[in-house]
Structure 1
Amino acid sequence: MPVLYLIACGAPPAAELLSHPEAVPGLQADGWTVCVLCSPNGERFLDTAAVSIATGYPVRVEQRLPGEPDVLPSPDAILVAPATFNTLNKWALGISDTLVLGILNENLGAGLPIAATIWAKDELQKHPAFDAHAQLLFESGVRFIQPDEDVQQFPWRQLRLAMAELLPG
């Protein structure tokens, strides 16, 4: 089965990874092997033990030590859900000060399919750096999935459909 890295950053939708039927359960039903990685702030929103049981893999937060084996299989695609203002801006600048940013930077450079949904307050999205950084990532191949207009819920269904397009066969 193809491997999907689901990267969760520090925002409320990260708490829905197991409870929303279109998130981890739906992605698994579609045929993905889902491995969850999260930013240090994202970890606060997760029950990492429950996520590990549901996926069969530990939730990775910290970078591994040199020589330490990787406990996750290599990804075939990456989904950043939710992508925060902080993560988006650091990612666009190539900053790799957390495990997830290192994974995102490395795999963007490798050309791996990456989809993301930004979850940030309107005020943060009006920051002068935001649009330029989102555009840079878009031009580098990141597919951004946004909620339908006037919808306040996280777009798990749209993300699941976008990831299904990447499944082989």
Structure 2
Amino acid sequence: MTANHVLYLFGSAAPPVLNIAGVIERAQADSWNVCLGLTPTAARWLDDELPALEELTGHPVRSQYKLPWEPDVWPPTDVAVLAPATFNTINQWALGITEKFIVGFVAEAIGKGIPTVAMPCVNTAYVQHTQFDTSIATLRAMGVHVLYGEGGSVPNEPGKGRPDAYPWHLALHAAAAALSEGNADRP
């Protein structure tokens, strides 16, 4: 893989997002050009780190839609990864509720054929809500590679999460695989 492959890394407000700098560094070590997008709440959690994250990626960190007359500040992407994806983010995406920039992007990515990976970060109380399984099934049916359950993120008991154990490596591996699959389909 060469450094000209662009990865849009999107994160929502779940504790693993606090480790996003290390994930960016790992992705860059694998030659990804990373652009970081966050939900507004995740951006607030990382407010003190945003300048350093912009320096690390070489791109502005985005958490809001741009205004119609503003130019795009990121290069076009090859793959998008949404991780950690909260209960709220997964459900909004599956239902097409796109008030958040990152949800709007990944919803549109499906229609544009941009390979997209999602890895939820939820607890066992949230997954009791029937909409969650419906949303996971909906996203998978639309071609999103959802890393949930065996081979992905597994829900923890409420209050027992271990952000350091979140399997970021699976999301980065899935992004690389999606890129390889996409390139195999090109003439």
Q: TM-score, normalised by structure 1?
A: 0.91
Please name the residue that 1:103 is paired with. Answer: 105
Shift of 1:158: 1.5
Shift of 1:149: 9.3
- Which 5+ residue runs of structure 2 have no aligned equivalent? none
Out of 62, 65, 77, the position equivalent to 2:64 is 62
Change (3 A) 1:42 1:64: same
Shift of 1:164: 2.2
Shift of 1:147: 3.3
CA distance in 1, matches of 2:96, 2:60: 26
Shift of 1:11: 0.7
Shift of 1:77: 0.6
Please name the residue that 2:124 is paired with. Answer: 122
Please name the residue that 1:4 is paired with. Answer: 7
Residues 56-115 of structure 1: CA distance to partner in whole angstroms, max 9, x if unpaired?
001001111111111111111100110011011010011111111111111111121111
Across the aligned residues of Structure 1 and Structure 2, the Cα RMSD in angstroms comes to 1.9
Please name the residue that 2:153 is paired with. Answer: 147
Please name the residue that 2:85 is paired with. Answer: 83
Question: Higher helix proportion, which one?
Answer: 2
Counterpart contact for 2:124–2:155, Cα < 8 Å: no
Shift of 1:148: 6.8
Q: Aligned residues: percent identity?
A: 36
Please name the residue that 1:32 is paired with. Answer: 32
Q: Matched residue of 2:7: which SS?
A: strand
Shift of 1:167: 4.1
Change (3 A) 1:147 1:96: closer
Counterpart contact for 1:2–1:75, Cα < 8 Å: yes
Name which of structure 1's ranges 148-157 and 138-147 shifts more when overlaid on structure 2. 148-157
Is 2:156 aligned against 1:156?
no
- Which 5+ residue runs of structure 1 have no aligned equivalent? none
**Residue type of the partner of 2:71?**
P
Residues 123-144 of structure 1: CA distance to partner in whole angstroms, max 9, x if unpaired?
1111011101110001111112
Shift of 1:14: 0.6
Q: Matched residue of 2:75: which SS?
A: coil
**Residue type of the partner of 1:121?**
N
Change (3 A) 1:124 1:148: closer
Counterpart contact for 2:115–2:179, Cα < 8 Å: no
**Residue type of the partner of 1:130?**
F
